[in-house]
Amino acid sequence: MDWGSISGLVLALFSILIGQAVEGGRIGSLLQPAAFIVVVFGTLGAVLLQSKPKNFFRAISMLRQVFVAPTDDRSILARRIALWGAVARKEGIMKLEPYLQTEKDPIIQKGLRLMIDGIPPQTIKDICKNDLDQFESSQRNAIKIWDSAGGYSPTIGILGAVLGLIHVMENLSDPNMLGSGIAVAFVATIYGVGLANMVFIPIANKLKYIMQIEITRREMLLEALTSIANGEHSIMIEERLSSYLR
């Protein structure tokens, strides 16, 4: 579990609730179903309108990474790569076939298979670079969903506030209706701005950080596979890899 993300979200929510209580307000007054429906479903509709369904669902599936961060195995991978380089240089590329059978990562499997099949180093680099570019593009399109939600929700919160004020104006003759209308108006703004700056935008930024780590990992793997295919010494390969671990 990523306790930093969890504690950050809890702290952000509690700051609003505690601040409301300290000022003497009722926490229950922040719970307005009408404002919630306008902001959350309005933001959802706007995001769906601008996005492809596959990007939207990929963005939802990536949410888990914010709270259960993927393992950063670059150091372990670097040691495995150094071993492959030593084996390939001493015994030949074909001796890497047993490692191909034990590796579970499809990216590593593909790279090792290309080397074992005798594909030229530059071609291996081009194929893997294309895969990397496609991965980065798909990830950025998915993360853009959260960025967009962070942009839309404050505006839709204002829309909810205007709807609440319209409700107030329609019931000026009934003082009992004024309070609920004004509450919806202000709470909708809180929901819009709060969700944007405490949830949507932080999620997008966290996913960008996680994506960059994975891109670095894949770049390291690409560099290593090309070096092994070129027959470089394992010491040179380790030196190349060290720059990706800083």
Residue type, 192: G
Q: Is 176 exposed, middle or buried (0-12, 13-18, 19+ CB in 10 A)?
A: exposed
Residues 212 and 159 reside in one and the same domain: yes
Residues 24 and 91 reside in one and the same domain: no
**Predicted confidence band at 86 (pLDDT cuts at 50, 70, 90)?**
confident
pLDDT at residue number 181: 65
Question: Domain total for the chain?
Answer: 2
Q: φ and ψ at 104, to 5 degrees?
A: -100, -25
Residue type, 207: L
Answer whether residue 173 shows pLDDT above 80: no
Q: What is the pLDDT of residues 116-147, one digit of tens each?
A: 888 888 898 889 889 999 999 999 999 999 99
Residues 89 and 180 reside in one and the same domain: yes
Residues 15 and 53 reside in one and the same domain: no
Residues 7 and 102 reside in one and the same domain: no
Angle (CA) 213-207-125 rounded to 5° is: 40
Answer left, alpha or beta for residue 69, where phi above 0 means left and psi between -120 and 50 means alpha.
Answer: beta
pLDDT at residue number 145: 95
Residues 14 and 86 reside in one and the same domain: no
Residues 181 and 143 reside in one and the same domain: yes
Residues 103 and 165 reside in one and the same domain: yes
pLDDT at residue number 142: 95
pLDDT at residue number 176: 66
Mean pLDDT of the chain: 85
Residues 26 and 82 reside in one and the same domain: no
Answer whether residue 184 shows pLDDT above 80: no
Q: What is the pLDDT of residues 35-59, one digit of tens each?
A: 889 999 999 999 999 999 999 999 9
Residues 39 and 99 reside in one and the same domain: yes
Closest CA to 39 of 150, 153, 151, 147: 153
Residues 21 and 133 reside in one and the same domain: no
Can you tell me the distance from the alpha carbon of 243 to that of 241, in angstroms, rounded to the nearest whole number?
Answer: 5
Can you tell me the distance from the alpha carbon of 169 to that of 8, in angstroms, rounded to the nearest whole number?
Answer: 39
Q: Is 230 exposed, middle or buried (0-12, 13-18, 19+ CB in 10 A)?
A: middle
Domain boundaries, position 4:
1-31
Residues 14 and 94 reside in one and the same domain: no
